[in-house]
Amino acid sequence: MNTTRPSSSGTPAKPGAKRSIMPLYLIILSCIVPMIAAALLYYVPSLRPDGATNYGNFVQPQRPMPSSEALSLTTLDGKSFDLNTLKGKWLLVTSDGGACPDSCAQKLHFTRNGHASQGKNVNRIQRIWFVTDNEPIPEKVMEAYKGTIMLRADPKALSDFLLDGPIVQGMQLRSKRKWIRTCGLLIPMAT
């Protein structure tokens, strides 16, 4: 019986020819190298990349969450509200008058879309609108922005709570915007 195998070209291999084992080494190497590289990156911190992808900066100096005495808040029903009940949540807040002109609706739209874009983290974020007067809120705004906690606040006490200035940490922010940090999170406060 003839034990020679045909080569890949279809012609029989010569009986005394050795086959190369280089392809076997390449296959084994291609399986081992990624595991060695992953182990090195995991166990040797100096090999890890230094860069980080952040989508914002925390405002310095940090501001503590105001007490209910320092910032008196009421719901639209007139019940008192304490911001400390939201501790552990990220707060995305805006402030404006109750009449809610187009600029206010645009800010509420921005906060709603920012909230919706958080994917799996959407339950960690709460939207808050500080209403700075006693004007009635239009029904279309109430319907369009369901899920937003709407709180009435004294404008003077609220401005003491907000961080003033268009420049924070050398970073130019959009004009006429105030920023605040509470519960360890950056919160844009639109004026």
Q: Residue 144: which CATH number? A: 3.40.30.10
Q: Which two tokens stand for residue 15?
A: 């009986």
Contact 63, 163 (CB under 8 A): yes
Judge if pTM exceeds 0.85: no
Is residue 137, in this structure, part of any structural domain at all?
Answer: yes
Q: How many domains does the chain have?
A: 1
Pick the more confident residue, 139 or 54.
139
The residue-averaged pLDDT of 116-137 equals: 91
Q: Residue range 127-152: average pLDDT? A: 94
In this structure, is residue 174 part of a structural domain?
yes
Q: What pLDDT, on the 0 to 100 scale, is given for residue 166?
A: 42
Domain range holding 181? Answer: 73-190
Q: What is the largest CA-CA distance in the chain?
A: 102
